Structure 1
Amino acid sequence: MIKFSNVAIAVITATSLSLPAVSATKDGSNKVGKPIISSKIVGGEEATQGDYPWMTALVTVSTEVDTTLTVGTDIIGSNAFSNGVSGDATAEIASCGLGGEVCTEVQDKICLIERGEFNFSTKAQNCEEGGGIGAIIYNNESGPLSSGTLGDDFAGTIPVIGISQEDGQALLDRVGEIASISVAATENLVQDSSCGASYLGNGWVLTASHCVDSEASASLKVNIGEYDLRDGAENAVDIERIYLHPDYNDSTLDSDIALLKLTQNVEAATVTVANKTQTESFENAASLTTAIGWGGRTGYEPGEGPTSDFPSILHQVNTNLMTNEVCAQTLATSYGEEDPALAGITERMICADVPDGGKATCQGDSGGPLLVQEGNEWIQVGITSWGSGCAAKGYPSVYARISAFEDWRLATMTGITLLNAKTFPTIRVGQSTTQTLTLINNSNSAQTIDLTTSGTTDIVLNSAACQTIEANASCDVTATYTPTQAEEVSLDITITAGDTSVKTYGASVNGRALIEATDVQTAFASLGTTASWYTGGNNAWMVNTEGHVESGDINDSQYALLETTITETGTLTFEWFVSSEANEDDPEAPYDALYLVVNGQLIDFISGEVPFTEKSVDLTEETNLVQWIYEKDGSTSAFEDKGALRNVSFASDTPVTPPPVEPPPPVEPPQPRSSGGSFGISALLLLPLLWMRRRFK
């Protein structure tokens, strides 16, 4: 799945573990049920300034020093180094290699130096000591030299600029020609867009959840009414709070919608949002749509890419809506699947396409609006979310269907909602863990609150601090999970306000526990420690008739986990086996695999047909949580479809075994893959499954 953003693969920030992209597809991107990369406008054109006054850019704002480089009549792109000095220089170009020693034959010339081996400051100083009056440092790998520092202690006095590898190598053939370089004395405020959005008014912005679901979102600002990214950075507004939809699934990109509350109200035009009736009417009529954004303009087939050619000017492209049934069938056919249900299109999504391809959103357009024009009014029906490839024939672009989220949107903007409700860390039966949820009142009056629950009794809610909540205020609710058996559980939370006219939207919290695997402990008695073994997930590990320990039967998008805690330093040795669907095109992005994780860090994995092979790993902590996880992707089984272990042993570094201690706290997972589906490794360990669909971010 491609989430439509500026990056080739949207990164999920994890507190501990990032496994390889196990959701990759056989062609590298488009396997059914996998996430994708982000998108931009392909096959479109520049928008007319003023046509979309509510169009919004999610931006990062920074300062930049202006530089210039001219050789003859050619103007070459360049960048400044931080901690450099301002100045101008015009002189012949002289080559100084890597600049590791004082440059020779550069008196009163501009030094051309390759990046590598030595600090930038050393290169610049060696140019100046040789008599150079300016320095050009070019990259040693493809692309521009867009960032670099000369260091806080740089004492040079000559201007220094950076350029791309391609431009630097071209200048090697122009040594002796006259060049002019300039580094400005003052900094300018600049912005870089990562996603689009639309303005709803009263300080509220609508975008895609995958645009704002990482820690990096803390640095984002919002620029309303943006058109040309090259100016207007000073207009960017801070975000006060991010509201991800509680059912947002960062793997399937279901419920990919978010609201942003700004720190101030902005007086600007607002977009009209389609209701359910309008959306269905437009969809059934295959209405002409317009998508807008600053995404890449280079299309590519699934498995290829990424895109390129990102514009500064807002672009637009026209496609046509299609029903979800047609969209799912089209994608399934392109994926080589018979069942349209495997295409990953839910009732909370909407699709648009042109039959011959060549026009679509792409990386960088994520979060932007999909629009239908009715008379003189633009109506937003979707939010750019994901696609396979960009503008490829047979692969429609997929958007979040805004009308499916009307209750949540209105309750969030004008009523009472819960934030932070998520899946608990996977823990062992008998343990306990607590998470804090935030109740927010965005209505214009104080409210008495009644929280009621249904579902499991293993999760207990404490809402004593939230019996009354002031207008535009928040309070904390705690949820404590103490599993009594190894099963997936859920607690649904309903909010009732004292004023029943105030809209509310509740949430669910979920948990899954591991049970002690006594048969596994018996099989691995040779381990030589007092460690206990635990298993769980969608099925348990068990001892087979040959005395090996193997993963239980699981279905697509499920996992089976086996873990133990070793409270010593030393070397763990075992033999492991797997018989699974492999990704022959990209072995580092397996489909189904057996993973080894130690203390939350991925150590290794095996996939395909791998006979029992010995593996050793050094355990360096006083307490080591060791996990083996067999996980399947969203479709297809191959071979025996399982992992197995045997001959597990441990050699301690010390003759004395420390007393047992509690295992380290489990890694906190993100939202489950879906509100009612399996948790999978991605939910358990923050696995970024981002290879089939590409996020248009």
Structure 2
Amino acid sequence: MKWSNISQLAFCTMTGWAALQAFQPSAQAIVINNTAGAQTAQLLGAPFTSVTEIFIGGSLCSGALINQFHVITAQHCIFGEDASDITVRFRDSDPINSLIEAISVANIFETDATNDLLDGTDVAILELSSPSPDFITPLRFLTNADDLVGYTATTVGFGLNGVGSVGHQGTRDGLRWAAENVIDLFHGAAFPGGFSNIYTRDDDKASLGGIILPGTSNIFSTDFDDGTAENNTLSDFGSSAIPVMNEGTTAPGDSGSPLLVNFNDEWLIAGVLSGGTTATSEFGDISWWTGTAEHRLFIEQRGGQFVSTPEPASIFGLMTVGAIGGISWVRRRQHNS
């Protein structure tokens, strides 16, 4: 799902060791595979009433309710903004996602004072000026995300939307879309080619044959498969080219939306959306998610709750609903309407 007018996309040249230029925010929404189509994405997304629209001036992001007064989103969505300019909209689960309530924001809490997209700290929490609708159940968090690679997760958002063969084409219907994708990589923001050295965290992870941006230890990566080797852009990290039934990716306007896994019949947040590798979100797109377990104390201080995970041998029930060349687009998935 993505917003209707995308601005603040940064044009980057990726050649060998050339540094990736600073990104400007851009939002994302859901794009699903052609076989599942728009109706499936809308049906999958409708029940997730805890996933919200966040309007920041003229821009759009997504977020998730974590208790009656707090919503989690991406830091890049709200960095440098005043709380008075932000509104969170809650929508129902009916076919048109009817607006329930729009609530202003009283305070913004950020993990740090920087705005680095992929350094693992792209997380913020909004304090609402009044309680959220009492029938909307807040989402809780997964304690340990280290064993999620290879499992299917669900992504839900309000951004631009479309199907994989053509991408979002700048369209948005205002509905909450959802799609599935397999988590291909944790501890690295991956490209199918090129390299960047702008992040400098000490816990960098070495590449396994593909390219991982250094300093991205708290980042999940997913790719948008269509069954072809060409669009299996994370194949160097063990990604299968075979898509899941409701395979999809994110798009502008989806920034801040939750990466969800199902544990004991409860949807839990493992990360929030930070960005991706294409401007259009077509097949082959890679999405990047900032992990939330690393920020447990920050989240718990604002009333978020974490749930322990099973041992690795018993995680098989985790299921979800749901190549950059020399010159390409890099996006933050925040939407401008």
Are 1:316 and 2:178 an aligned pair?
yes
Q: CA deviation at 1:394?
A: 4.9
CA contact (8 A) 1:252 1:344 kept: no
* Counterpart in the other structure of 2:222: 352
- Alpha-carbon contact 1:300-1:391 (below 8 Å) kept: yes
Query: Aligned residue for 2:121?
Result: 255
CA distance in 2, matches of 1:307, 1:696: 15
The residue aligned with 1:694 is: 331
Q: Which has more radius of gyration? A: 1
Matched, 1:54 2:43: no
Q: Does the 8 Å CA contact 2:97/2:176 hold for their aligned counterparts?
A: no
Q: Which position in structure 2 is the counterpart of 1:361?
A: 250
**AA at the equivalent of 1:351:** S
Q: 8 Å contact 1:52–1:225 — kept in the other structure? A: no
Instruction: Tell me, yes or no, if structure 1 residue 237 matches structure 2 residue 103.
Output: yes
- Compute the displacement of 1:253 (Å): 6.0
**Counterpart among 195, 198, 213 of residue 61 in structure 2:** 195
Specify which of 367, 383, 399 is matched with residue 289 of structure 2. 399
The residue type equivalent to 2:193 in the other structure is S
Match of 1:40 in 2: 29
Q: Taking every aligned residue pair, what percent have the same amino acid on both sides?
A: 18
Q: Aligned partners of 1:247 and 1:215: how far apart in 2?
A: 13
Give deviations 1:424-469, integer Å, cap 9, x for gaps.
Answer: xxxxxxxxxxxxxxxxxxxxxxxxxxxxxxxxxxxxxxxxxxxxxx
SS at match of 2:193: helix
> Equivalents in 2 of 1:49, 1:39: separation in Å?
15
Q: Structure 2: which 5+ runs fail to align? A: 34-40, 198-205, 232-246, 305-325
Question: Aligned pair in 2 of structure 1 residues 391, 46: CA closer, same or farther (>3 Å)?
Answer: same
SS in 2 for 1:405: helix
CA drift at 1:250: 3.9
1:275/1:403 contact within 8 Å kept: yes
Q: CA deviation at 1:344?
A: 5.0
Summarize the Cα distance change of 1:306–1:34 in structure 2 as closer, same or farther, 3 Å threshold.
Answer: farther
Correspondence for 2:213: 343
Q: What secondary structure, in the 3-state scheme, does the structure 2 residue paired with 1:380 have? A: strand
Distance 2:113 2:142 in 1: 21
| 1:294 equivalent in structure 2 | 158
After superposition, the Cα gap between the structure-2 partners of 1:323 and 1:33, relative to the gap in structure 1 and judged at 3 Å, is farther
- State how far apart, in whole Å, the 2-side matches of 1:234 and 1:202 are: 15
Structure 1 residue 374, shift from structure 2 partner? 2.5
Q: 2:141 aligns with which of 270, 273, 285?
A: 273
1:386 to 264, 275, 281: 275
Q: Residue 8 of structure 1 aligns with which residue?
A: 6
Q: TM-score, normalised by structure 2?
A: 0.66
3-state DSSP of counterpart to 1:215: coil
**TM-fit CA distance, 1:351:** 1.8
Q: Which amino acid aligns with 2:138?
A: T
Secondary structure of 1:255 counterpart = coil
Q: Secondary structure at the match of 1:24?
A: strand
Whether the aligned pair in 2 keeps the contact of 1:6 and 1:194 (CA below 8 Å) is no
The counterpart of 1:374, out of the listed 256, 263, 269, is: 263
In terms of fraction of residues, the more strand-rich structure is 1
CA distance, structure 2, for counterparts of residue 226 and residue 253 of structure 1: 34
- State the shift of 1:359 in Å: 2.6
Change (3 A) 1:400 1:226: farther
Q: Separation in 1 of the partners of 2:59 and 2:43?
A: 17
Paired residue for 1:208?
74
Q: Does the CA-based 8 Å contact 2:164-2:281 persist in structure 1? A: yes
SS across alignment from 1:398: strand
Deviation >6 Å, runs of 4+: 228-231, 336-339
What is the TM-score normalised by the length of structure 1? 0.34
Amino acid at match of 1:42: V
Q: For 1:218, what is the secondary structure of its paired residue?
A: helix
Equivalent of 2:193 in 323, 334, 340: 334
SS in 2 for 1:235: strand
Unmatched tracts of structure 1, length 5 or more: 12-20, 62-191, 415-583, 586-690
Number of aligned residue pairs: give it: 269
Residues 197 and 222 (structure 1), Cα distance of their counterparts in 2 relative to 1, 3 Å cut: same
SS at match of 2:297: helix
